[in-house]
Amino acid sequence: MLSPAPQAIESVAVIGAGLMGRRLAGLVARSGVAVTLVEVIPEVLDSGLADARAMAPEGTITGAGSVRDGVAAADLVIEAIVEDLAVKQELFAAVAEANPRAIICSNSSVLPITAIAERVADGTRCVGTHFWNPPDLIPIVEVVRGERTSDETMERTYDFMAAIGKLPVRVEKDVPGFVGNRLQHALWREAIDLVASGVCGPETVDLVVRNTIGLRLGEMGPIENADYVGLDLTLAIHEAVLPSICREPHASPYLRELVANGQLGAKTGGGFLAWPDGAREAAAARLSAHVQEQLAPQNS
Q: Respond yes or no: is residue 109 known to be catalytic.
A: yes
C-alpha distances in Å from residue 128, one per residue of 114, 157, 172, 247: 9, 9, 11, 28
Catalytic residue among 39, 79, 118, 142: 142
Q: Assess contact for 226 and 234: CB atoms under 8 A.
A: yes
Q: Respond yes or no: is residue 108 known to be catalytic.
A: no
Contacts of residue 104, Cβ cutoff 8 Å, sequence gap at least 6: 77, 79, 92, 95, 96, 117, 120, 125, 126, 127
Cα torsion for 195, 201, 204, 210, to the nearest 10°?
40
Give the integer Cα–Cα distance in Å for 35 and 283: 31
DSSP secondary structure code for residue 269 in this structure: T
Q: Respond yes or no: is residue 79 known to be catalytic.
A: no
Pick left, alpha or beta for residue 257 (phi over 0 → left; psi -120 to 50 → alpha; otherwise beta).
alpha
Catalytic residue among 97, 181, 185, 225: 181
Give the integer Cα–Cα distance in Å for 110 and 197: 27
C-alpha distances in Å from residue 269, one per residue of 10, 70, 259: 44, 38, 13
DSSP secondary structure code for residue 242 in this structure: G
Q: Respond yes or no: is residue 250 known to be catalytic.
A: no
Catalytic residue among 99, 106, 108, 109: 109
Q: Which residues are catalytic, by number?
A: 109, 130, 142, 181
